[in-house]
């Protein structure tokens, strides 16, 4: 792959479960992604950044080798890769809050299964042989791991294996193949990873900028801006009720002595129960607003 001087490279999944959300996150961080003619890369207009559009399984290699400084990839793919390498050559910077799924063991529906010992001596088909192998070892179970690169869910029907160990997101693939989950090997979601290879100064500046913006996007996930009016003697109680708020802004209301407007950023979800409690404590005219951007 040709390396391009001072441009930062971010590897994301070309097509699949993570690709849309990966692009969305970068867009929310302010990156204007060109829809390029070429299939392998997409240029960012307003930053010295190129996206590499690749298979998710290739992302850990690209980041570990420093071909891409950053990558967005599922923890499942990353950990399977890491188990095959002696030294870690990337750092996980942050979980990204999307792409939630789990690596699960599944059995044909209706099969007898009452615990991991049922797997002893059985054949298990998977594209995650290292994660499965490590899990079996932790359980102290010896089983035959049958490595498949895809269509793992077909293995029992084809007589290749009695069990499968595959990624489950909605569960519809298992269901369509008459399989039922029996054990969870790993919970996963998309994470942002960064190479441990040295990054030159110019790229480092772009990297710092990018990370600050991604931080801003992640910080607003689930957080809300909340406003309300309240009498002075209720302010302490109200502040205590607000989730994840330390120092709200308190603004005097014109023409209403002893009454204030209270504004705050809630870092946690604001539930209807919270609003109810606020009202009980004396708040009125409560408004909860989404936050689009935030920089600390
Ligand atoms: C996984 C897995 C199943 C499917 C499960 O593949 O191999 O095919 O997703 O999803 P469901 O529970 O919503 O039906 P993935 O999207 O990771 O593609 P890949 O393994 O080809 O990279
Ligand atoms: Zn894959």
Rg (CA), the chain: 25
Mean pLDDT of 181-204: 95
pLDDT at 31 over 90: yes
Q: Is 172 in the pocket of ligand 1 (CB under 6 A)?
A: yes
Tell me which ligand sits closest to the C-alpha of residue 172. Answer: 1
Is pLDDT at 4 greater than 60 in this prediction?
Answer: no
Domain ranges of the chain: 4-98+190-220, 101-188, 224-290
* pLDDT recorded at residue 108: 96
Distance 176 CA to ligand 2 centre (A): 20
DSSP state of 234: G
167 CB near ligand 1 (under 6 Å): yes
**Cβ–ligand 1 contact at 16 (below 6 Å):** yes
Superfamily of domain 101-188: Periplasmic binding protein-like II (3.40.190.10)
**CATH superfamily of domain region 4-98+190-220:** Periplasmic binding protein-like II (3.40.190.10)
pLDDT at 222 over 80: no
Task: State the distance from the centre of ligand 1 to the C-alpha of 154, rounded, in angstroms.
Answer: 13
Average pLDDT over residues 5-13: 91
At CA 45, angle to CA 2 and CA 56, rounded to 5? 55
Q: How far is the CA of 127 from the centre of ligand 2 (A)?
A: 9
Tokens of 77: 């793919």
Fold equal for 4-98+190-220 and 224-290:
no
Q: Could you tell me if the CB of 170 is within 6 A of ligand 1?
A: yes
**131-145, 150-164, 211-225: least confident range:** 211-225
**Confidence class for position 5, pLDDT limits 50, 70, 90:** low
Q: Whose CA is nearest to atom 18 of ligand 1?
A: 16
Closest CA to ligand 1's atom 21: 150
Q: Which of 8, 236, 193, 229 is nearest to 96 (CA)?
A: 193
Looking from the CA of residue 175, the nearest atom of ligand 1 is 14
18 alpha carbon, closest ligand: 1
State which fold the 224-290 domain adopts.
Alpha-Beta Plaits (3.30.70)
Give the DSSP letter of residue 6: T
| CA 201 / ligand 1 centre spacing (Å) | 39
- Which tens digits make up the pLDDT trace of 92-127? 999 999 999 999 999 999 999 999 999 999 999 999
Question: What mean pLDDT is reported for the chain?
Answer: 93
Distance, CA of 169 to CA of 190 (rounded, Å) = 12
Of all atoms in ligand 1, which is nearest to the CA of residue 16?
A: 16
Give the model's confidence band at 219: pLDDT under 50 very low, under 70 low, under 90 confident, else very high: confident
């Amino acid at each position: 792959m040709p390396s391009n001087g001072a441009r930062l490279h971010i590897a994301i999944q070309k097509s699949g479960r993570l690709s849309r959300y990966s692009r969305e996150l970068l867009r929310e961080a302010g990156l204007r992604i060109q829809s390029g003619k070429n299939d392998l890369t997409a240029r960012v207009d307003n930053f010295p950044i190129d996206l590499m559009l690749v298979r998710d399984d290739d992302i850990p290699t690209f980041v570990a080798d420093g071909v891409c400084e950053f990558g967005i990839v599922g923890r499942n793919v990353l950990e399977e890769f890491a188990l095959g390498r002696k030294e870690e050559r990337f750092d996980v910077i942050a979980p990204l809050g999307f792409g939630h799924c789990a690596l699960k063991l599944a059995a044909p529906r209706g099969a007898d299964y009452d615990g991991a010992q049922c797997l002893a001596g059985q054949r298990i088909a998977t594209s995650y042989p290292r994660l499965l192998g490590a899990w079996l070892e932790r359980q102290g179970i010896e089983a035959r791991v049958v490595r498949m690169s895809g269509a793992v869910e077909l293995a029992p029907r084809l007589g290749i294996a009695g069990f499968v160990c595959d990624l489950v997101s909605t569960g519809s693939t298992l269901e369509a193949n008459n399989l039922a989950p029996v054990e969870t090997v790993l919970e996963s979601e998309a994470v942002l990873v960064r190479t441990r290879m040295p990054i030159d100064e110019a790229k480092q500046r772009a990297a710092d900028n990018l990370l600050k913006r991604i931080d801003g996007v992640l910080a607003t996930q689930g957080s809300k801006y909340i406003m309300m009016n309240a009498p002075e003697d209720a302010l302490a109680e109200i502040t205590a009720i607000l989730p994840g708020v330390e120092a709200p802004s308190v603004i005097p209301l014109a023409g209403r002595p002893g009454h204030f407007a209270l504004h705050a950023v809630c870092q946690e979800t604001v539930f209807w129960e919270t609003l109810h409690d606020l009202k009980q404590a004396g708040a009125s005219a409560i408004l909860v607003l989404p936050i689009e951007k935030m920089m600390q």
